[in-house]
């Protein structure tokens, strides 16, 4: 019995010898595993209180049982760490003890932290993504029967010097009955889709190059597809953890195609024909992107892009007079997301797609196509 008790006491005494220790100037002693330090604060993982963060200038002594990666005055050395008065001593395998003032320490990493840091320098394509999916749905019955569906997706992959942005939105709405009127066949009141891709690459602290591709279609505008392929340069006017503001300027190639069935003879017998029209033009790309975090749980985002054309484009329609014009197109988006849960939030978006000279039609097509939507946001991080 006494032998077992003695062995137990020896084990309890020996446990601290296999753990890192941090002694503070007030005499407190922390035992655990030193994780990291930025030269201002040190984190030690303990069994009894989890991660504990202490100010580096309040530390009297350090003793690590294993290797640590320590940066001293711009030089990184690896080995067990101890202190000698106001100096830090790193016992390396190749150069022996390296001693320097504690004030010269700028980084400390455990082997696990160092491995994670080195891996972060070369992430795989599947890593570094943040974003979410939006869903909004409304249904009415009775005096009016309507269905409204709005879905969206956005994903951002941020690297040390580059960024990839993907987004998609779709809006669909129908109505089939109005109060005090006979039941009518279902009519589509909205049917539009938009998708975008943009890649940014920093070539200076404040400047970057970008390439982009935007796609639109809108059944009510008879727009089968409009795609805008472009590129240019940008400027990081603001780049902080909570706020970013980028200005963009470049050139693009725009192509769009329209088609529909129409009746050209108002009196019987009606004559129905199929028309198809397409045009292409070169244009400028100018605009901005702005994001701002409001507290810990909310994000506000804004995007404004204009595409003024270089060349004149022929806008034609059956029985209409061709008109050569310079076209100005644009897209404006506002978004607000607030987190309700770690993966669930509420979003509000406002989008306006602008075309100052839409295809001639009867009834006429409006220049602005505005969408206001709200609903749930399902976020993800990888």
Task: Tell me the DSSP string of 136-154.
Answer: EEEEE-SS-EEEEEEEEEE
Same domain assignment for residues 375 and 251: yes
11: pLDDT strictly greater than 80: no
Q: Do residue 111 and residue 145 come from a single domain? A: no
Q: What is the CATH number of the domain that holds 140?
A: 2.40.160.40
208 or 126: whose pLDDT is higher?
208
Which tens digits make up the pLDDT trace of 148-206? 888 999 999 988 889 999 999 999 988 876 554 555 567 888 899 999 999 999 999 89
CA separation for the pair 175, 173 (Å, rounded): 7
Q: Indicate whether 142 and 272 sit together in one domain.
A: yes
User: Is the predicted pLDDT of residue 22 greater than 80, yes or no?
Assistant: yes
Please count the other Cβ atoms lying within 10 Å of the Cβ belonging to residue 51: 12
For residues 107 and 151, membership in a common domain is answered with: no
Q: Are 91 and 193 within one domain?
A: no
Question: Domain tally for the chain?
Answer: 2
Tell me, what's the pLDDT at 380? Answer: 86
The mean pLDDT value of the chain amounts to 84
Judged against a pLDDT cut of 70, whether residue 267 lies above it is answered with no
Q: Are residues 66 and 115 in the same domain?
A: yes
CB 107 within 8 A of CB 69: yes
Do 21 and 154 lie in one domain? The reply is: no
User: Residue 11 region, left (φ>0) first, then alpha (ψ -120 to 50), else beta?
Assistant: alpha
**43-101 confidence digits (pLDDT tens):** 999 988 899 999 998 999 999 999 999 998 888 999 999 999 889 999 999 889 999 99
CA diameter of the chain? 113
* 318 pLDDT more than 70: no
| Integer Cα distance of 105 and 91 in angstroms | 15
Same domain, 226 and 306: yes
What pLDDT is attached to residue 156? 92
**3-state class of 6 per DSSP?**
helix
Q: Decide if 216 contacts 194 (C-beta within 8 A).
A: yes
Of the pLDDT bands very low, low, confident and very high (cuts 50, 70, 90), residue 252 is: very high
- pLDDT attached to residue 13: 44
The pLDDT of residue 108 is above 90:
yes
Torsion angle of C-alpha atoms 178, 179, 180, 182, degrees rounded to 10: 30
Structure tokens belonging to residue 30 = 């922390």
Range of the domain at 159: 129-381
Q: 363 or 282: whose pLDDT is higher? A: 282
Q: What is the pLDDT of residue 4?
A: 45
253's enclosing H/E stretch is strand 243-263
DSSP assignment letter at 63: E
Q: 38 and 114: one domain?
A: yes
Does residue 110 sit in the same domain as residue 161? no
Q: How far is CA 155 from CA 224, 302, 333, 379, in A?
A: 25, 15, 16, 9
Report the C-alpha gap between 295 and 302 in whole angstroms.
17
Spatial CA neighbour of 307 closest among 256, 346, 257: 256
Q: How far apart are the first and last CA of the chain?
A: 54
> 62, 95, 120 — which closes off a domain?
120
Q: Which of 50, 85, 120 is the last residue of a domain?
A: 120
Q: How many residues are recorded in the chain? A: 382
Q: Find the range with the poorest average confidence among 134-138, 153-157, 309-313, 326-330.
A: 309-313
Read off the pLDDT band of 14 (50, 70, 90). very low
- Summarize pLDDT for 331-369 with one digit per residue, the tens: 999 999 999 988 899 999 998 988 887 766 666 777 888
């Amino acid at each position: 019995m006494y032998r077992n008790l003695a062995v137990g006491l020896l084990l309890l005494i020996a446990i601290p010898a296999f753990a890192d220790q941090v002694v503070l100037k007030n005499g407190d002693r922390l035992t655990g595993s030193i994780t990291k330090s930025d030269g201002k604060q040190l984190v030690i993982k303990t069994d009894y209180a989890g991660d504990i963060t202490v100010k580096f200038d309040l530390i009297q002594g350090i003793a690590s049982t294993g290797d640590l990666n320590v940066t001293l005055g711009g030089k990184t050395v690896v080995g067990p760490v101890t202190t000698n008065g106001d100096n830090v001593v790193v016992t390396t395998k190749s150069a022996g003890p390296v001693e320097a003032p504690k004030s010269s320490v700028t980084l400390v990493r455990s082997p696990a932290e160092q491995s994670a840091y080195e891996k972060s320098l070369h992430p795989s394509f599947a890593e570094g993504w943040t974003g979410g999916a939006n869903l909004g749905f409304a249904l009415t019955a009775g005096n009016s029967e309507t269905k409204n569906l709005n879905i969206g997706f956005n994903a951002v992959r941020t690297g040390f010097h580059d960024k990839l942005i993907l987004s998609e939105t779709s809006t669909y709405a129908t109505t089939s009955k109005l109060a005090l009127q006979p039941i009518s066949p279902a009519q589509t009141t909205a049917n539009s889709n938009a998708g975008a891709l943009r890649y940014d690459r920093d070539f200076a602290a404040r400047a970057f190059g970008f390439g982009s591709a935007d796609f639109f279609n809108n059944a009510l505008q008879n727009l089968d597809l409009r795609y805008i392929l472009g590129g240019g340069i940008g400027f990081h006017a603001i780049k902080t953890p909570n706020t970013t503001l980028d200005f963009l300027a470049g050139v693009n190639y725009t192509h769009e195609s329209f088609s529909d069935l129409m009746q050209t003879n108002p009196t019987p017998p009606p004559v129905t024909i199929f028309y198809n029209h397409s045009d292409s033009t070169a244009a400028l790309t100018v605009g901005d992107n702005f994001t701002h975090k409001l507290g810990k749980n909310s994000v506000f985002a804004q995007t404004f892009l204009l595409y003024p054309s270089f060349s004149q484009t022929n806008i034609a329609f059956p029985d209409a007079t061709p008109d050569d014009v310079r076209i100005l197109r644009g897209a404006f988006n506002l978004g607000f997301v607030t987190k309700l849960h770690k993966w669930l939030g509420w979003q509000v978006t406002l989008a306006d797609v602008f075309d100052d000279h839409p295809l001639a039609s009867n009834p006429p097509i409006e220049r602005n196509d505005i969408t206001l939507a709200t609903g749930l946001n399902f976020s993800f991080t990888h």
